């Protein structure tokens, strides 16, 4: 079976949870086997039920007080015990903070070859062969796993949701859950309801060409109008024009939205390293020779300050015509 670690986001599932189920289901199909989902901690019942739509035939759901706070050593110990009692050939995790913390521990424990941040299905199985990006997107490598078991971490938003309705059995298991070695002293979570950058389908990002923090109003208005998250380039974050949490690029967040709007961003190679997994890149820059136009799919050579209000109007007009 393929073990899918389905992440619990504070008692709920998010797109990433269903995406990993979808992906596991496709890998299992290639391997002629089925998906064993693993969920740790309590999750809304409707959310659990929703996994049926994405091909999870068997779900092991463990609830235990020792599962909070998140301790990667405890989590990997629990997942390993589940794997040992089932015939697991492959593990799949989401390549986010939590998945990246657990997956390598599982790989080391089972001496399973790990391929991280994959964006597609394996080319073939036995041996598992998969193509992944290397050199921060500057090349692709065909990667072969030589061990019997494999571990893959899936780049968030790269596979999407694929429905494959099945009927699912939910079981618990008698499992040893050691006490965590981590104590939370303080927690700070944004409850503004803003879309997290790494999950956003649409991202509107500003660079130095925006000229200063006081010009961000129209950018934010456009983003909120189309339901996008906001981001920025490194110099913008370094100058303090925008919070560091918005910085995308090789040394910031690495994202894969459907559309990435690069406004006043020249497109340095380090920046592109963080956004090259976007499906479409839309660039607006005053400099027609800016490297961003080599990476972009659509673009306008022009002044972003003039164009943003026009884009807001054009979008409103397009939506009005639609209704």
Task: Please report, as residue ranges, which positions from 19 to 58 form the binding site for another protein (by CB under 8 A).
Answer: none
Among 101, 121, 125, 162, binds another protein (CB under 8 A): 101
Among 87, 139, 289, 323, binds another protein (CB under 8 A): 139
Contact 117, 125 (CB under 8 A): no
Binding part of the chain for another protein, among 34-42, 84-92, 212-220, 279-287 by CB under 8 A, reads 279-287
For residue 253, give the DSSP letter. Answer: B
Region of residue 271 (phi > 0: left; psi between -120 and 50: alpha; otherwise: beta): alpha
Among 50, 221, 250, 291, binds another protein (CB under 8 A): 250
By the rule CB under 8 A, 320 interacts with another protein: no
Token pair 């859950």 is found at: 177
Q: Which residues pair with 90 in a beta bridge?
A: 2, 150
CA 39 from centroid of its chain's CA atoms: 18
Contact 6, 75 (CB under 8 A): no
Give whichever of 49 and 140 is closer to another protein, judged by the CB atom. 140
By the rule CB under 8 A, 282 interacts with another protein: yes
Question: Count residues contacting another protein (CB under 8 A)?
Answer: 92
Among 34, 147, 158, 164, binds another protein (CB under 8 A): 147
Candidates 270, 273, 265; CA nearest to 292 is 265
For residue 214, give the DSSP letter. Answer: G
Q: For another protein, what does the binding mask look like between residues 152 and 191, x meaning CB under 8 A?
A: -x---------------------------xxxxxxxxxxx
By the rule CB under 8 A, 296 interacts with another protein: yes
Candidates 11, 19, 20; CA nearest to 46 is 11
Q: Rounded distance, CA 64 to CA 122, Å?
A: 34
Tell which positions 199-228 bind another protein, by CB under 8 A: 202, 226
- What is the distance between the terminal CA atoms of the chain, rounded to a whole angstrom? 47
Q: Which tokens in the block code for residue 227? A: 């339901």
Nearest approach, Cβ of residue 152 and another protein (Å): 11
By the rule CB under 8 A, 283 interacts with another protein: yes
Contact 115, 130 (CB under 8 A): yes
Give whichever of 115 and 168 is closer to another protein, judged by the CB atom. 115
Contact 154, 93 (CB under 8 A): yes
Among 59, 145, 223, 263, binds another protein (CB under 8 A): 145
Give whichever of 64 and 131 is closer to another protein, judged by the CB atom. 131
By the rule CB under 8 A, 107 interacts with another protein: yes
Work out the angle at residue 48's Cα, subtended by the Cα atoms of residues 44 and 51, and round it to the nearest 5 degrees. 150
Tell which positions 54-93 bind another protein, by CB under 8 A: 69-73, 76
Q: Rounded distance, CA 200 to CA 229, Å?
A: 6
Among 44, 161, 173, 314, binds another protein (CB under 8 A): 314
Tell which positions 224-243 bind another protein, by CB under 8 A: 226
Among 196, 212, 217, 243, binds another protein (CB under 8 A): 196
């Amino acid at each position: 079976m393929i073990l899918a670690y389905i992440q619990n986001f504070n008692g709920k599932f998010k797109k990433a949870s269903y995406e990993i189920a979808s992906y596991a289901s496709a890998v299992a199909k290639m391997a002629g086997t089925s998906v064993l989902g693993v969920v740790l901690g309590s999750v809304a019942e409707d959310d659990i039920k929703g996994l049926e739509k994405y091909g999870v035939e068997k779900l092991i759901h463990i609830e235990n007080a020792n599962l909070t706070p998140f301790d990667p050593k405890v989590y990997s110990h629990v997942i390993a015990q589940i794997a040992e009692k089932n015939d697991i050939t492959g593990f799949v995790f989401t390549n986010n903070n939590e998945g990246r913390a657990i997956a390598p521990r599982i790989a080391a424990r089972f001496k399973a070859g790990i391929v991280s941040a994959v964006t597609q299905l394996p080319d073939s199985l036995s041996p598992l062969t998969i193509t992944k990006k290397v050199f921060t997107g500057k090349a692709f490598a065909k990667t072969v796993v030589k061990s019997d078991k494999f571990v893959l971490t899936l780049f968030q938003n790269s596979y999407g949701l694929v429905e494959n309705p099945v009927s699912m059995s939910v079981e618990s298991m008698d499992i040893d859950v050691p006490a965590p070695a981590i104590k939370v002293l303080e927690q700070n979570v944004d409850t503004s309801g803003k879309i997290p950058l790494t999950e956003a389908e649409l991202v509107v990002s500003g660079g130095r060409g925006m000229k200063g923090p006081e010009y961000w109003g129209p950018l934010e208005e456009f983003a909120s109008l189309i339901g996008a998250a906001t981001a920025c380039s490194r110099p913008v974050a370094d100058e303090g024009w925008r919070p560091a949490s918005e910085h995308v690029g090789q040394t910031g967040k690495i994202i894969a939205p459907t559309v990435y709007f690069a406004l006043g961003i020249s497109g340095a190679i380090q920046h592109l390293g963080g956004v090259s997994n976007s499906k479409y890149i839309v660039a607006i820059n005053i400099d027609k020779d800016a490297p961003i136009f080599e990476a972009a799919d659509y673009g306008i050579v022009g002044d972003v300050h003039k164009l943003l209000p026009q884009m807001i109007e054009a979008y409103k007009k397009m939506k009005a015509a639609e209704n």
